[in-house]
Amino acid sequence: MRNLRRIYKLLSLIVHAALGVGLTLAFTRARQTAPSPLFDAIACWWRARIGRILGLRIETKGKPTPGGALWVANHISWIDIAVLGGQMPVSFLSKSEVRGWPIIGWLATRGGTLFIRRGARGGADAAAEEITWHLIRGRRVVLFAEATTTRGDRVRTFHPRLFAAAIRAGVPVQPIALRYLPRIGAPYGEPHPIAPFVDDDTLLAHAWRVLGEPLIHVELAFLKPLAVHDDLERKVLARATHDIVNAQVTGTTSDAIQMGRLGDCA
C-alpha cells in the first residue's frame, strides 16, 4: 500500500512538474529581473499544489504582513518551500548550486529565486544587495537564517549579515516558525520522524520516504513583524528574530519580547 501511494504521488509530481515547465515557458522570459504579478500568482498556486500532492495539512497561525518584508524562518526540510511558497508570492534565497540542478534550477531561476555563493568572497554582500533591491520593490523575500536544516526541535543561531537588507530597504522583518507535528500517538514536541531533511541524507532517498507518508501535519506561525530603523544593528535584529522563532518552536518565553529589544510593527 505504501509503495502504491509513493508511485501515485511520484507520477502526480512528474505531471505537475511538466505543467510547471510549460507555464514558466509561457509566462516568463530569460534574464527578467523579477516575475510578473500574474506569474507570481501561478507560481504560488503551483507550489501549493505540490504540498497537496505530498499530503501536507497546513495549520496557519497569524497573518503575513502586507507589502515588502523579509520573512525569516527556521529551516527543517526542502518541503518548507512548498509550505511557505504556497501561501502567497515570495522569493526564496538559495545556495548558488541549486541554479545548476536539472529542471529545478531552471524553474527556481525563472520563478524569482535569489542565489548566494556560500563561502565565496563577497557572496553574502552581493546577496544582501539583491535582496535589498527586491524588498524596495515591495516583494517578500524568504530567508532561512540558520543556513542549514534541523530536526525542528530547536532553532540554531541566525546568521546576521543578510538582515542588513531589511534595514537598508526600511521594511519589517517577520519571524516565521515552522513545525512538522509528530504522528498521532507520538509524544508532544517530538519532531516528525520523516519530514526533517538533515545530516547526510540524500534528496532522492528522503523524497521517497516522504512520498510514503499518507499525511504530514504542518504548523506555520506568522509572528508579529519587527520594525527596523537606520540605527538598528543587524546582530540585534537577528538575535531578536531568532528568540521569537525559537520561543514559538520550543514553547518557551522569548527574551526579545520581554526585554522590549525591538518594537513590533503596528
Q: Which residue, chain included where needed, has cell 520563478?
A: 111
Least confident of 73-87, 108-122, 206-220, 251-265: 251-265
Q: Chain-centre distance of CA 63, in angstroms?
A: 15
* pLDDT classification of 258: cutoffs 50, 70, 90: very low
Question: Residue 214 burial by CB count (10 A; 0-12/13-18/19+): exposed, middle or buried?
Answer: exposed
Residue-wise pLDDT tens digits, 118-170? 766 778 889 999 999 999 999 999 999 999 999 999 999 999 999 999 999 99
Of 138, 142, 150, 147, the closest CA to residue 175 belongs to 142
Please give the domain boundaries of the chain with CATH numbers for all domains: 2-259 (3.40.1130)
* Whole-prediction pTM: 0.90
SS3 57: strand
Distance CA 99, CA 96 (A): 6
Residue-wise pLDDT tens digits, 84-130? 999 999 999 998 888 888 888 999 999 989 998 876 677 888 999 99
Q: E-strand spans in the chain?
A: 56-61, 69-73, 91-95, 114-116, 140-144, 173-180, 216-222
